Amino acid sequence: MPDAVDLIRAKRDGDRLSPADIGWLLDAYTAGAVADEQMSALLMAIYFRGLDPEELRAWTRAMISSGERLDLSGLNAPTVDKHSTGGVGDKVSLILGPLVASCGAAVPQLSGRGLGFTGGTLDKLESIPGWRASLSNADIVRVLADVGCVICAAGAGLAPADRRLYALRDVTGTVESIPLIASSIMSKKIAEGTGSLVLDVKVGTGAFMRDLASARQLAETMVELGNAHGVRTCALLTRMDTPLGRAVGNAVEVTESVATLLGEGPADLVEVTLALAAEMLALAGIDADPAAALVNGSAFERYRAMVIAQGGDPAAELPSAEHTEFVRAEASGWLRVLNAGAVGVAAWRLGAGRARKEDPVSAAAGIICRAKPGDQVTAGEPVLELRSDDSARFDHALEALAGAIEIAPEPPRAVPLIIDRIS
């Protein structure tokens, strides 16, 4: 039988771990036979030494095998999901699931809550009165069969090793390891039972991956893992230097998502959503026009049905903030920069995000971008509208926005939102 200390020492010294060693280690850790202190040491060794492709496949396979796997084989439609690495104003999942379902696919989106300046899909939907994030496996399959899409929390039985490792990485300075990020994301996505997966890997000031090289490496690693485990996988690298759409927060992003499902969404949000929808439908083998589904109302009807199936009232009034503050243009000209990271931090400080997983979030807090890069502005005109239930939060939020807005005498050069495709 392997010994945890021997495996720590081997990885520390740059040796390879065999699939059998990795399988034993993660089984033992999930069962409590390997201590957190020992796994912390191994995670740090992996952070510095990495995992080669064979090790990473074995590591991911062991994480999947640590729990149950959803069986979606009984559905009468091809299954396809999408995962985003997170961004500011990234409400694409709320639109994309119903949109792709309206084109004939079954879309199981097991999502998470926000931490730090990137918002969480579940936090956004929980601003809808009555909506439930926690569903049993049977409920997930039922909603998929009845509606065609579901957005909910991953159950505790899916990749439980990842749940323990994620918490440990968060307190040991090993979050940024690409093999550990890739295995964490892909173990849950593979365990959810989807047949195909499209990854949206964000790049820029409002993304976890700030530089293109790191984002590309992460995308390539995840695509390889998905395909190696029998899930047809591709990735889009998408730009996240500016908030996506005009709403950043929880209820405000739901409102913007509904507008988009009714064919009235902002151009950048629609562009990214349709690009991802096209990739999802192609992987699922479905020949359909997602743009038409945004115009004819079929995507919106799927959204309403999904919300109702999960206990929510799609017609209910959403929470609204008690207090409003504005950030105004200091000069006339063209808005050249609106730093996504700064806007995300400001929204977080207004109450829309959390610093720790157990922190509450405000459904009403957030930011409306009254102008986006490429828009012409006049001195004194509102560029950002800040909303919060607590007016004392404004000063701290405004500090985050110092230097986030740049106005120039000439319009900025247009840059593509879709940077590249990885398959």
Tokens found for residue 218: 């992460």
Dist. CA 34–CA 110, nearest whole Å: 29
Among residues 91, 169, 216, 354, the one annotated as catalytic is 169
The DSSP code for 352 is I
Among residues 11, 57, 82, 83, the one annotated as catalytic is 83
Among residues 188, 189, 302, 393, the one annotated as catalytic is 188
For residue 127, indicate whether it is catalytic. Answer: no
Q: In which element (H, E) is residue 366 found?
A: strand 366-369
Dist. CA 162–CA 15, nearest whole Å: 23
Among residues 111, 127, 177, 184, the one annotated as catalytic is 184
Dist. CA 237–CA 415, nearest whole Å: 13
For residue 90, indicate whether it is catalytic. Answer: no
Dist. CA 388–CA 51, nearest whole Å: 44
Q: In what order do the strands lie in the sheet with 323-328?
A: 247-249, 366-369, 382-388, 323-328
Dist. CA 1–CA 16, nearest whole Å: 17
Dihedral angle, C-alpha 149, 153, 156, 157, nearest 10 °: 10
Q: 23 in the Ramachandran plot: left (φ > 0), alpha (ψ -120 to 50) or beta? A: alpha
3-state secondary structure of 257: helix
Number of H helices, E strands in the chain: 16, 13
Please name the residue that has the structure tokens 């405004």: 398
For residue 188, indicate whether it is catalytic. Answer: yes
Backbone angles phi, psi at 264, to 5 degrees: -125, 30
- Cα-atom radius of gyration of the chain, to the nearest Å? 22
Residue 1: exposed, middle, or buried by beta-carbon count in 10 A (0-12, 13-18, 19+)? exposed
For residue 52, indicate whether it is catalytic. Answer: no
Among residues 81, 90, 123, 162, the one annotated as catalytic is 162
Are the beta carbons of 290 and 274 closer than 8 angstroms?
yes
Are the beta carbons of 404 and 285 closer than 8 angstroms?
no
For residue 421, indicate whether it is catalytic. Answer: no
Tokens found for residue 403: 């230097």
**Alpha helix (H) residue ranges in 229-382:** 251-261, 267-284, 290-295, 298-309, 340-347
Which amino acid is residue 263, in one-letter code?
G
Q: Which residues are catalytic?
A: 83, 162, 169, 184, 188
